[in-house]
Amino acid sequence: MLADHLVILPILVPMLAALLQLLPWGERPQYYRRIIGLVSSSLTLLVAILLLLAVHDEIQVYALGSWQAPFGIVLVADKLSALMVLLTAVLALPVLIYACHGEDNLGSHFQALFQFQVLGIMGAFLTGDLFNLFVFFEILLISSYALLMHGGGKAKLRATLHYVVLNLTGSALFLISLGVLYGITGTLNMADMAEKVAQLRGDEAAIVRAGGLLLFIVFALKAALLPMYFWLPQAYSNTTGTVAALFAIMTKVGIYAIVRVFTMIFGADAGEAALLGYSWLWWLGLFTILLGALGVLGSRDIRLVVAYLVLISVGTMLTTLSLGHSDAISALLFYLVHSTLITGALFLLVDMIAVQRGKTASRIVKGRKMAQHNLLGALFFIAAIAVIGIPPLSGFVSKLFILEAARTGAQVAWLWPIILAATFLMIIALSRAGSRMFWHTLDGKPNDVTHPKWQHGAVALLLLGAVGLTVFAQPMASLTDGVAKQLTAPQHYISTVLRNGGGND
């Protein structure tokens, strides 16, 4: 039955679509590739919804080849995995709709690379063991290397080179850390490793802690946490709007990996390896917020501003995780959904603004009036309110949850002023950008370049996410509360994977 294979479908659907898109397809290959891509993304969204409903009652374990964990490869869908899969699908469909109206023509295999990227992201969220997390990381990274170069150009080449070198270094560290952990525990299944790490003492526990810290460094690099953040602003600001919008979920893969590994394997019940890295997360996260806010204020290009907004969101989420309790994780997840959708919308919106402004492009200077000036101005205003956190949209709600999660006096004394200061700097930067691009325009005839309604609709769909999170804040908060409770009590996950995981052919 289809229900028995829901866990693997978010991986299989984009994989099959990508393989089909690599075929020649006669005289109109791009037309058929677009159809395949849109159908695939729509099916993936449907499967993601069904998967979230399925894990409401029970964790879903998919044992490939009927090999029981920890000996075989397993995919695991709990509430966190299902939420992240659904978020990826919700982001990918509008981004692909936007790309199908011309931007995918800048490269010959954009459509297939897009699906391979989605495949890698979905696999990273669903895998139940660390080695296959590495495998899916490599799939999404290889796709991202090509996508960053989409359209060509010296700036893209330079940013991609830095990105590739850093991620190859991260991949090498990942393999070393896996070797260390496997050498001590004899397993790479996350559930099995969690049980074995909790029993370690003395030198073995110390070695596992060293391997865990290597993993922390790798995941922090993927998430762009200070001091390993410097690849992100240039990479995200120099690529196309479509690719940057899809990459809004990329840093969340690193954050997901930190949340998953450091609440289950190195969580409160991990014995001598308990709460590994949490004290680092607090300070590194706070400084990441500050540096991101200064980057937003100092940027003279709106693409770079949005890239630094991503950096602020990374610091905010990982600082919140370091608080270490269920309410903090719930607030983190609510904010994660908000920031992914709104930064994805901003990257697409800025792409349209840059095209319609002509020679001034995305620089924050006076320029010609745009052909669709009022519409783009209205969309930018809504997006700015949401990303800053001004009431009543989801940015305000999510930041309120985060501030409420700070319980001790020391946490309040550091977290509140830094988040509020970053918010103030965001208001200044986005107000300056909006006024120069939409109010203080040059005299003369407006630019005549326009964008089709479908592209405006794609941006509007993502912005509706911010509205939806506000209107349905209570149900969404209930969902993230359920995810947080499952994460802070990982024994049910562990027992389901190791003792109740079924086999699948």
142 within 8 A of 154, measured Cβ to Cβ? no
One-letter amino acid for residue 295 of the chain: G
What pLDDT score does 32 carry? 94
Percentage with pLDDT > 70 across the chain: 98
CA distance 219 to 281: 12
Model confidence pLDDT, tens digit, residues 167-222: 999 999 999 999 999 999 999 999 999 999 999 999 999 999 999 999 999 999 99
Percentage with pLDDT > 90 across the chain: 76
Is residue 410 very low, low, confident or very high in pLDDT (cuts 50, 70, 90)?
confident
Would the pLDDT of 450 be above 80?
A: yes
**Its pTM surpasses 0.75:** yes
Query: What is the helix, strand, coil percentage profile of the chain, to 5?
Result: 75, 5, 20
Residue located via tokens 């290009």? 301
Domain ranges of the chain: 277-471
Output the 3-class SS for 244-273. Answer: HHHHHHHHHHHHHHHHHHHHHCCCCCCHHH
